[in-house]
Amino acid sequence: MGDLIEDVHLDLPLPPNELKSVLICGSYFYYHYLCDGVDDVGWGCGYRTLQTICSWIKRQLDIKKIYSAPKVPSINKIQKALVEMGDKDLQFIGSKQWIGSLEVAFCVEYFYKIQCKIIHCRNIQELHKHVNDIIQHFMDFGSPIMMGGDKDCSSKGILGISETENGTFLLILDPHFPEHLKSHEKLQRDGWIKWKKIDELDPSSFYNLCCPLIKSS
């Protein structure tokens, strides 16, 4: 795994005036820009969030000993898989084209035989209406969620949700970290893993949430 680190959200304080919080259950590796020597700055965030999710799924399947789970796929293998599935044309391989929540769902099923639920929110007002669905997902499955959008096209990993007296917050793992040397403390201090209020998201963007339907051990 090189210098990948695990569970970067641990010991991060909950938002102030917290009433109810639910987080992922289980361990993952934090995948981000440049983490494996591939220069994906500016286009690879969706792939990195997918890889983080895959690392969580692989850990769960290894624990359950259901079958020998494949390794976390590289960006190249992800692109080849999407071509093989018929979702992309051949020119997609080796390109710098982005992927979003739908492609993440396709790949989770392709590599790990796990289906995903897509929650489509036309705006943050609709996202507010799905707060209970997000809470229930973490309670029932405990798996990380991929969030993508259009105006807000930066991929996000969602590792938890917190209802507070001041509003609802999502625990966001940002894959755009462009360095090699890192620590839990640096990532938390610099905001690469942080609680963000839903109302602070882009009000002009839709959001798709990809929720892998595999229960944590």
Q: What is the rounded distance in angstroms from the CA atom of residue 172 to the CA atom of residue 65?
A: 29
Tell me if residue 36 is catalytic: no
The residue annotated as part of the active site, out of 121, 174, 210, 211, is 174
Tell me if residue 174 is catalytic: yes
Three-state helix/strand/coil letters over the chain: CCCCCECCCCCCCCCCCEEEEEECCCCCECCCCCCCCCCCCCCCHHHHHHHHHHHHHHHHHHHHCCCCCCCCCCHHHHHHHHHHCCCCCHHHCCCCCCCCHHHHHHHHHHHHCCCEEEEEECCHHHHHHCHHHHHHHHHHCCCCEEEEECCCCCCEEEEEEEEECCEEEEEEECCCCCCCCCCHHHHHHCCCEEEEEHHHCCCCCCEEEEEECCCCC
The residue annotated as part of the active site, out of 9, 32, 40, 45, is 45
Q: What is the rounded distance in angstroms from the CA atom of residue 178 to the CA atom of residue 71?
A: 23
Tell me if residue 25 is catalytic: no
The residue annotated as part of the active site, out of 152, 176, 184, 202, is 176
* 29 and 6 Cβ atoms separated by less than 8 Å: yes
- Look at residues 120, 94, 118 and name the one whose alpha carbon lies nearest to residue 108: 118
**Active-site annotation, residues:** 45, 174, 176
